[in-house]
Amino acid sequence: MRRIGWICITMLVASWGAAGASFLHGPYTGGPSETSVTVSWSTDEPLAGRIEFAVLESFETSGVLPHSVLFTSSAGSPACVYHVSLIDLRPDTDYVYQLVLLEKGAVVRSPIGRFRTAPPSEATVSFAVLADTQRQGEGPSKPEWLGNAIASGDHIDFVLHAGDLVDSPETLLWDDWFRSFGEMLLAAPFLPVLGNHEVNHPSYYENFVFPPGGGTSNERWWALHWGDVVVVGLDSNLRRLSDLVAQQEWAIEHLGGPEAHKFVLLHHPVFSSNPYQAEGHNFDVTLHPLFVEYGVDIVLSGHVHGYERIERDGVTYLVVGGGGAMPHPFDAHRIAGSVVALDGFCFYARIEASPDGIAVEILAVGEEKDGEARSTEDEILDRFALPGETLEP
């Protein structure tokens, strides 16, 4: 997989957090497109400021952020959550940005973040996927292990999250989540779908910016078109028939497009060898035939806290619920099509789609045994290619 080294920047970063006592979360990016991205953050009081940004290549030479977008203290929501869009950007370009807050006469600068705008067709697209990052119990922060590993690894276009970001949508748990993933959120745009633990709470919608979608505020399900890749993000918690029909129609419209590589992201697995966690949704009847008909390559889900790769009717299903929550064991008698099933690991998926196909690595950053967690260094749990066969680590 291609690697673009992370830039080491000491200039321009002024005691973020110490001077910025009003800072809460971020900055981070979402809703990326070919020519735009949205920068988000939150404070505990209304503050004005600006976002400075530059093309990465230019910044590496000059150290200057020549472009800026101003915002007022009233630009945030009532909860002081800010979403400011950068528009008219160059397609297929790496950018860096910095948030500058004006607080009580002082200038407070964030660390440097980066993002990439959408590429043309036939470009290589790389992204990371994780799920079920609700931290449970005492001890080390496994979500922080994940976030730091993703941030320090190969450059990625975006990060996907298959739901259950937090155990419940409470302020203290969101605070812990944003602390754990601070480095990762600076590295690339972040795009989640709802899990059952978010319970469709307003804080989920307040915190994040999504690609164009439908449902609640046109954000409950969405689709990202990115070069030769389409990612359709679904809400697997829906129960109302009208919502189910609207979401299915949305999925058909966007999976029926010209992209060569098609991915679906949802929280509950369509298939799993953990029957207790996966039963009761009938996705094998309502969604699987649709995925087969429209040539979906990979369906990514969480909910079951472990890793499983299942192959059914030309569709690869990956359960990637290794974000740090309590592990769920798999049944000894695995379901049809199960190729790999592992529990007890804290892990994420790294995926690369190119004209040659799709390459997937499942990387463990921690392991839990006898109730104790230990960190590991990107141990490869599984590695495969589409079209193709399982690859040796």
Q: What is the pLDDT of residue 49?
A: 95
Q: What is the pLDDT of residue 4?
A: 33
Cα-Cα-Cα-Cα dihedral of 193, 393, 2, 322, to 10°?
20
d(CA 146, CA 175): 17
Least confident of 12-16, 85-89, 206-210, 267-271: 12-16
- The alpha carbon of residue 185 and the mean position of all alpha carbons in its chain are separated, in whole angstroms, by 9
Q: Kindly state the average pLDDT of the residues 277-305.
A: 91
Q: For the domain 125-386, what is the CATH code?
A: 3.60.21.10
Angle made by CA atoms 54, 59, 61, in degrees to the nearest 5? 155
In this predicted structure, the answer to whether residue 18 has a pLDDT above a threshold of 60 is no
Sorted by where each begins, the domain ranges of the chain are 23-116, 125-386
Residues in the chain, overall count: 393
Tokens describing residue 81: 């959550």
Per cent of the chain over pLDDT 70 is 91
DSSP secondary-structure letter at 35?
S
Report the helix count and the strand count for the chain, using DSSP H and E. 9, 22
Q: What is the pLDDT of residue 23?
A: 76
Q: Kindly state the average pLDDT of the residues 43-59.
A: 95
Q: Kindly state the average pLDDT of the residues 248-264.
A: 96
Q: What is the pLDDT of residue 141?
A: 85
Class of domain 23-116 as given by CATH: mainly beta
pLDDT band at 140 (very low <50, low <70, confident <90, very high): confident
Does the pTM of the predicted model rise above 0.85?
yes
pLDDT tens digits for 190-247?
A: 999 999 999 889 999 999 999 999 998 899 999 999 999 999 999 999 989 999 999 9
In this predicted structure, the answer to whether residue 72 has a pLDDT above a threshold of 50 is yes
E strand spans, 31-175: 37-43, 48-55, 67-71, 81-86, 94-103, 106-109, 113-116, 125-130, 158-161
Q: What is the pLDDT of residue 319?
A: 97
Q: What is the pLDDT of residue 277?
A: 66
Sole residue written with tokens 């590589």? 261
- The alpha carbon of residue 388 and the mean position of all alpha carbons in its chain are separated, in whole angstroms, by 26
pLDDT tens digits for 245-255?
A: 999 999 999 99
Tokens describing residue 116: 């990439």
Q: What is the pLDDT of residue 391?
A: 58
